[in-house]
C-alpha cells in the first residue's frame, strides 16, 4: 500500500534530504555525468536516492514548517510518519509516492528509489565527440580544413607591429614644426 503525500517529493527536491522522524533520513545525491568511451555514449547526471539512519531535528523542523505552508500541521506530519512506521511493521515495506519504496531487510532500513532520470535524461550517442589530439574536418564558409590546418593558422607567428615608430616620427616632426614657427625668425 502506498502512503499518499504530496509533501515528500517537493521537500526532497528542494532540500536534497527528507526526514522521516526517528526512522532516518532519505538523502538525494548526484552522480556526475560521464562519457563511456567503449560504447560511445554520454551518460547524464543522475540523481541517486539513499537512506541514512541518522536523524536531524533541524531538518525535521524545516519539514514541519514546509508542511504548514502546504496546509498540513505538525500533527498531520506526525500522522504521515506513523503511517510509514505502521506500513513497515505490517508489510516490511512502505511505498513513498514519487520517491521509492522503503524496506526493512535484516532490521536495516533500505530505500529502493524510483528511477525516473532515464525518462527525462536519456543517454546521448556520442559518436561525434572529438577527443584532444584527434584530427577532424572543420567547415569554414565553403572551405573544409582539417583541424591541424586550423591549429597551424591560429598558431602562426605574428610579425611584430611597429605602428608606434610612425607615430613617434610624426610627433618629432610636429615638435620641429612648432619650434620653427615660434623661433624660426631668430635662427
pLDDT digits (tens, 9 = 90+) for 56-89: 889 999 999 998 898 888 888 888 889 888 998 8
Rounded Cα distance, 187 and 176, in Å: 13
Q: What DSSP state is assigned to residue 92? A: S
Whether the per-residue pLDDT at 14 is higher than 50: the answer is yes
Is 38 part of any domain?
yes
Query: What pLDDT is attached to residue 111?
Result: 85
Query: What pLDDT is attached to residue 5?
Result: 59
User: Which structural domain range is residue 61 located in?
Assistant: 2-125
Is 100 part of any domain?
yes
Alpha helices (H) in the chain, listed in sequence order: 8-15, 57-69, 74-91, 117-120, 147-155, 163-183
Residue 12 CB neighbours (<10 A): 20
Query: What pLDDT is attached to residue 1?
Result: 41
Is 75 part of any domain?
yes
Overall domain count for the chain: 1
Is 22 part of any domain?
yes
Whether the per-residue pLDDT at 99 is higher than 80: the answer is yes
Local structure of 151: helix, strand or coil? helix
Whether the per-residue pLDDT at 118 is higher than 70: the answer is no
The pTM score is 0.57
How big, in percent rounded to 5, are the helix, strand and coil portions of the chain?
Answer: 40, 25, 30
Query: What pLDDT is attached to residue 174?
Result: 97
Whether the per-residue pLDDT at 106 is higher than 50: the answer is yes
Q: How confident is the model at residue 165 (pLDDT cuts 50, 70, 90)?
A: very high
Is 98 part of any domain?
yes
Q: What is the mean pLDDT of residues 111-129?
A: 64
Question: CA angle 94-95-98, nearest 5°?
Answer: 150
Instruction: Phi first, then psi: give them for residue 143, nearest 5 degrees.
Output: -95, 150
Which grid coordinates belong to 141? Answer: 564558409
Amino acid at each position: 500500500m502506498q502512503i499518499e503525500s504530496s509533501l515528500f517529493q517537493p521537500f526532497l527536491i528542494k532540500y536534497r534530504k527528507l526526514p522521516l522522524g526517528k526512522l532516518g533520513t532519505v538523502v538525494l545525491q548526484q552522480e556526475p555525468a560521464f562519457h563511456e568511451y567503449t560504447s560511445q555514449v554520454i551518460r547524464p547526471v543522475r540523481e541517486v536516492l539513499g537512506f541514512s539512519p541518522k536523524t536531524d531535528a533541524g531538518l525535521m523542523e524545516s519539514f514541519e514548517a514546509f508542511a504548514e505552508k502546504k496546509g498540513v500541521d505538525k500533527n498531520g506530519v506526525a500522522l504521515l510518519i506513523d503511517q510509514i512506521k505502521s506500513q513497515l511493521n505490517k508489510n516490511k515495506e512502505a511505498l513513498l509516492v514519487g520517491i521509492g519504496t522503503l524496506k526493512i531487510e535484516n532490521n536495516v532500513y533500505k530505500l529502493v528509489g524510483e528511477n525516473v532520470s532515464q525518462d527525462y535524461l536519456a543517454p546521448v550517442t556520442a559518436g561525434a565527440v572529438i577527443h584532444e589530439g584527434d584530427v577532424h574536418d572543420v567547415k569554414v564558409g565553403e572551405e573544409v580544413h582539417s583541424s591541424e590546418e586550423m591549429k597551424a593558422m591560429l598558431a602562426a607567428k605574428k610579425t611584430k607591429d611597429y605602428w608606434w615608430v610612425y607615430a613617434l616620427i610624426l610627433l618629432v616632426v610636429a615638435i620641429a614644426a612648432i619650434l620653427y614657427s615660434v623661433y624660426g625668425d631668430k635662427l
